[in-house]
Chain A
Amino acid sequence: MRFRRRLLFLYVVFCVGIGLVWLRSAQMILVDGEEWSQRALERRQTTERLDAMRGPIVSADGVVLAEDVCQFQLAVVGWEWERRRRSRCTACGMVQFAGITKKPPRRCACPARLRRGGDSKRSDAYPRDDAPVGGTMEELPPGDLRPLEDALEVEPGTLARLANARVAEIEKIVDAYKALLAREAIDSEFLIDDKVRLRRSDLMLRPYVLIDGLSEEAVRLVQTDETGRFRGFRIQTALRRHYPLGDFAPQLLGFTSLIRSTEEYEALFQKFGHQITHSSRVGRAGIEKAHNGYLHGKTGRRKLQLQDGSFSKIVEYEPPVPGGPLRLALHARVTLDVQRILDEAAAKDHGYLPRGRPSGAFVALDADTGEVLVWAEAPRFDLNEDLKDLYDVKRQAIADEKAKVWEPRHPLEGTMDLETWRMQVVMPVPLALSRVAQVAVEPGSTFKPLIALGLLGAGRPISQEGMTCRHGLGMPGCHNCGTVYLEEAIARSCNRYFAWSLRNPASWSVNRRYVAKFIADLGLGQHPGEVAEWSAGQWLWNWHDFTLETAVAHADKVLAKRMGETAPKLRLGRHARVPATVGGDPKRLGRTLATVAEAIARRSGTRSVTLYASRHATEGRDVILQFGMRADTPRTWHLPPDLRQGADALPRAIRGWYPRNAGVQGRMSDRGTVWFNVRFERRVGRAGPGEPPVIRPDDGHNVGIGQGPVLATPLQMARAMAAIANGGTVVTPHVALQGARPLDKHDRDRVQIAAADLRRVRDGMFDAVDGGTARHAPWYEVPATVYGKTGTAQVGRSWRPWRFDEDLDAPWHHWFVGFAEAPGKRTIAFACVLHARTEDGAGLTAVPAVQRILARWYQEQD
């Protein structure tokens, strides 16, 4: 009986267990059923985000500078490509496809199919109505892709190679995924198999773009392919950024590219939230980047529900809202002509990077509002041509070893190697640097009006008396003018007048502070304002980091290889031992440091070169970047001429491309040891809250004539000219008339300039054009009063008495800055610079170019 009772007890326990399950099921279905049904519905739905059309960029005269266009792309679907073996029914002509291992069917199911009215799912060709029944299937030869390849203008065999590579990529991704699941110790084989199968089928069914910008012929071939010849390939459409004028102000307009998965999940996700999709295009530079939020538009949304095994039923639809049109102050037609004029004027250049390419810049601002009216640079690059190989670069990045890391959500997007992308897509990289806003060089004599205003404001001795100059500074280009007054000094560009006025021992201590502050207030040594953002500095966060010690160690090796036993020892000074890392390529930096050290050592014979850097980590990083890795930095940069020559001789020299405000100072000690002192100082401009800007005593002469530590971009000089033109208002240059940022946020700082002082300087600038150094141009063709100042920044060998290497020379920078006034028309402030000149002076090169530009401007205005 006890046995029976125990069995009964067990049975009751079992019944209770089953009963509990039943009750729980009943509760879930009958009581909470609605909630669970809702959840089930949500699981059967998916939301797709739809990219919005990016807004166009339009110039002030109505020319479209950038717009989104729809283009055809050739994509491959791995699943179809694998199953491209085909056979045709001899009776009805229907084409069927087989798998990789499957053999094509021997007989066609014509009767059954005809009874059903055709089986269009399995064929691209419908059976003829009068077709006989029960035909045999004959295998067709492999599809010849040559016609399509010819239409695409690619090498024979390219398409098959690309498609096979795509399938191979998928297999690698799937293998990596499988390994990952196994590492995570998923305890069910079926679960792994399911997941892996889903992943594979997902990738194999997803079209992958191989070639974009297809010709009509290629599209027609694929679309009308009835025999499955091009099976696996599909035509799809996509939005592409198009720049109708090609190489029109590319550095200003910038460019876009697909968002990276890291950005999507990290930075940009926070910034744009739901507006980002994995196919979003993001502005990477220039205006495209600065106004990305405005241009991007609002992403649309489509909720799809599972139906017949696929997400095909649309249950909600929210259309994308295109980005707003961005209207610029820039005049496109004039700028196009200015580009041409600039190319012609700069055609005599040599030696400037990229080697042999004309280099120069011109910018014109509305002197009262700061609107950028003209922005022209040389050289330029075609935004359409140089960016179109994005997908090739992607594939290359995927093939790269680093790119084999499996990315969970976007395996293809995620493998985009940023460095590869940067180097290849934006190539040539140096071209992307803006000569108007990012390249700062010595302004030369164009700096003199600013010095004059600064000294006049300080009440310094040049107020009324003239200065007798008999021998100038002993420098080439000095005019030996005799007794000169301020106006004449400006018109003739007297070096001695300004150098000694500033460096006058009696008033030097006051001058150097006041003048430095005044010039800083005019906008030099400061960020010019919200013009556009450039991306160089932005890329740094994703670069590989390394310490300075790494670079120095490599530099030592390079030096030893180059110089043998005479190689100097490169050491890091106390301040250079920053604990933080810097970005970039340590070997590249090492080579650069070695070259600088070699130049120093060969000139001075020193055996010891010490590198000093700022204690501040980011400053240190920025300094180093100047040796070959550019960066958008708010610091001044200065390298004394002897050391600069060394830098100029670098294989990857970036001569003259010193973002303003970065500072590097080199000096020789009395004992013959060269100290290569990398230090950050705001040589001209505000050093920080409460810290007055200073000009060092030994820089006094140089600053007075716009050389030495002084560096300025054309944009800064145009801004300063605008202040002289409008009576002391420092405008903020801006390109967009509408867009992301309201214009009223642009500050308009006032500089205190006495009217009498202003008049004297303006008179001097007028005289410069009317018989002074800028007289060599037919100014009568310009229907406006032009005030200007020439400047020839002579940084070559004939300048420096302490030069060591006669063979080294550095080309000059030819400047012409000023403003033009005309009744009833807006006053424009302009700055023009032609880089790397080796002959003539600015009066013979930059001045005629500006005269033609101004004539063209007023012609357009009329």
Chain B
Amino acid sequence: MRVMSLGERLKEADWILLALGVVLAVFGVIAVQTAAQGRVDYGGIQMRWLVIGTTVCLLMLAVPYRFVVTWRYLWYAGGIFLLLLVLLIGSGKSAGRWIAVGSFRMQPSEVMKLILVITLAGYIRYETRHRTFRGLFTPFAITLIPFMLIMKQPDLGTALLLIPILFVMLYVAGANRAHLGVVAGAGLAAGLVFFFVPGLLNEYQKNRVRAFLLQDSDDEALRRSHNHQIEHSKTVVGSSSFFGGGTGDETREAIRFLPERHSDFIFPVVIHAFGLGGATLLFMVYLLFIGLLLRTALSVREPSGRMLAVGVATLFACQTVINLAMTVGLLPIVGMPLPFLSYGGSSLLTSFAALGLVLNVGSDHPVEFGRGDFD
């Protein structure tokens, strides 16, 4: 196996993809600073994370991704360990999602998403068992262990995100659609059981689903209680203009009562500040970004690299669509940041690390080949 030098990798790297990631992150810094309303210097902190994230991205580019994939079970075990640690010593009020070491805090569930992609990519690359129904057991087991641990935190949004990653990677790797359909149906039924059997889901999680279903209710009290967040979010989005109100006082006053405006609900801030036009531009950047990720997957022949690119693209795509859809009332609210834009060091670092992996995949041209296709 020939290992490419760092210089060759830098030369071969898809700089447009990296540039798009940085553009999104810079966009995010501006939005976060606007959302912070001068109380806390969220923008400055996010800027620092952006610099660190870019560095991490370049570091990921330096390490051959195949080494990363080879050691996948080590990462996986580490991720599971961190998730278990969160359950024991996790901080963060009711939802203990963080591990604090001094002033530094990390969110293992964010890292676990990327680890799962790496683990699945490594598992699937030369396998064909997943094309049988029984063969689905192992990848599902790999996914459901972190899924359960993250659910336990509880972090429903991040946990649910693991499922589409698994399905998409299996689907792309050639799994039988009928098999996946059966499993999806079973999962849906299990979800209903979770919802209706008392004690399996937290009440606030159920309330969010109820709030989503009743968001257009005329009941003012209901809207103000359960639909508090979505009502504010929709109000901010709906009261925006085409060109936006800028990042000045108007936007600050408009978003004053929007909860989570600097993290999960950053999109209403963006659309109010930059208008529908700005949001359209943002969507196009995201479309281009995901498209380039998928093009990377197409451009390489090495299976684990392909699956890595597909998994990362799925991760970003799902997060983006779910986050955007929930802020405009198309999906129930779950705790999910918008990639590169939302405030949060763990999220931004993971995003840049994932991006670095894909850049690595795109810049690395190994000699050996897998099967020509996942046919």
Chain A residues near B (Cβ < 8 Å) = 1-4, 6-7, 10-11, 14-15, 17-18, 20-22, 24-26, 28-30, 32-33, 35-37, 39-41, 43-44, 181-182, 184-192, 194, 197, 306-309
Contacts and interface: CB of A to CB of B under 8 A. Distances in A.
Given A6-B172, A185-B203, A36 B291 contact: no
A190 B374 CA distance: 44
B280 A191 contact: no
A181 B257 CA distance: 18
B204 interface: yes
A32 B216 CA distance: 14
29 contacts: A2-B373, A7-B294, A10-B310, A10-B313, A11-B291, A14-B290, A14-B317, A21-B321, A21-B325, A21-B330, A25-B328, A35-B238, A36-B235, A37-B238, A40-B235, A44-B254, A185-B202, A185-B203, A186-B204, A187-B95, A188-B260, A188-B264, A189-B97, A189-B98, A190-B262, A191-B259, A191-B260, A307-B253, A309-B252
A10 B294 contact: yes
Interface string B94-134: 11011000000000000000000000000000000000000
A232 to B, nearest CB: 22
Nearest to B373: A3
Contacts of A309: 37, 252-253
Contacts of B297: 7
Contacts of A307: 253
A189 B242 contact: no
B305 to A, nearest CB: 13
A833 B294 CA distance: 102
A189 B92 contact: yes
A287 to B, nearest CB: 39
B241 interface: yes
A29 B237 contact: yes
A36 B237 contact: yes
A548 B234 CA distance: 58
Given A22-B279, A190-B263, A192-B93, A184 B238 contact: no
A1 B240 CA distance: 44
B236 A40 contact: yes
Across chains A and B, which 10 residue pairs bring their CB atoms closest together, nearest first?
A36-B238, A40-B239, A17-B321, A28-B238, A21-B324, A37-B239, A14-B317, A24-B328, A189-B92, A185-B94
Nearest to B290: A14
A39 B233 CA distance: 12
A39 B94 contact: no
Which of B154, B171, B328 has most A Cβ within 10 Å? B328
B172 A3 contact: yes
B368 interface: no
Contact of B276 (A20, A26, A43): A26
A21 B328 CA distance: 7
A329 to B, nearest CB: 48
A267 B94 CA distance: 36
Contacts of B375: 2-3
Nearest to A14: B317
B366 interface: no
Given A33-B238, A37-B238, A185-B202, A20 B95 contact: no
A306 B256 contact: yes
Contacts of A28: 234, 237-238, 328
Contacts of A11: 290-291, 294
Given A3-B172, A185-B204, A192-B93, A36 B239 contact: yes
B24 to A, nearest CB: 14
A245 B52 CA distance: 76
Contacts of A33: 238-241
Given A11-B294, A14-B317, A29 B330 contact: no
A443 to B, nearest CB: 58
Contact of A36 (B234, B253, B279, B374): B234
B350 to A, nearest CB: 18
B interface majority secondary structure = helix
A17 B325 contact: yes
A1 B314 CA distance: 19
A20 B325 contact: yes
Contacts of A35: 238
A1 B291 CA distance: 17
Contact of A39 (B235, B280, B291, B314): B235
A20 B257 CA distance: 26
Contact of B286 (A18, A32, A197, A306): A18
Contact of A32 (B205, B236, B238, B241): B238
Given A10-B294, A192-B93, 5 more contacts: A11-B291, A17-B317, A25-B276, A306-B256, A309-B253
B234 A189 contact: no
Which of A18, A36, A194, A308 has most B Cβ within 10 Å? A18
Nearest to A42: B235
Contacts of B142: none
Which of A1, A25, A192 has most B Cβ within 10 Å? A25
Given A18-B287, A189-B92, A10 B239 contact: no
A41 B253 CA distance: 10
A49 to B, nearest CB: 20
B148 to A, nearest CB: 17
B246 interface: no
B298 interface: yes
Nearest to B228: A191
A39 B239 contact: yes
Contacts of B81: none
Contacts of B329: 24
A177 to B, nearest CB: 13
Contacts of B235: 36, 39-40, 43
Contacts of B253: 44, 306-307, 309
B344 to A, nearest CB: 9
Contacts of B321: 14, 17-18, 21
B20 interface: no
A182 B263 CA distance: 20
Nearest to B205: A187
B256 A14 contact: no
Contacts of A1: 373
Contacts of A187: 94-95, 154-155, 202, 204-205, 335
Nearest to A9: B171
Nearest to B310: A7
B320 interface: yes
Contacts of B10: none
Contacts of A194: 259-260
A306 B252 CA distance: 10
A308 B298 contact: no
A21 B317 CA distance: 13
Contact of A22 (B263, B283, B373): B283
Nearest to A4: B298
A186 B93 contact: yes
A16 to B, nearest CB: 9
A43 B232 contact: yes
B249 interface: yes
A24 B330 contact: yes
A640 B241 CA distance: 85
A183 to B, nearest CB: 8
A191 B262 CA distance: 11
A44 B256 contact: yes
B287 A6 contact: no
Given A7-B294, A32-B238, A194-B259, A25 B271 contact: yes
A43 B306 CA distance: 49
B94 A186 contact: yes
A181 B235 CA distance: 24
A37 B241 CA distance: 10
B324 A18 contact: yes
Contacts of B320: 14, 17-18
Nearest to B329: A24
Contact of A188 (B95, B203, B280, B313): B95
A7 B168 CA distance: 9
B283 A18 contact: yes
A3 to B, nearest CB: 5
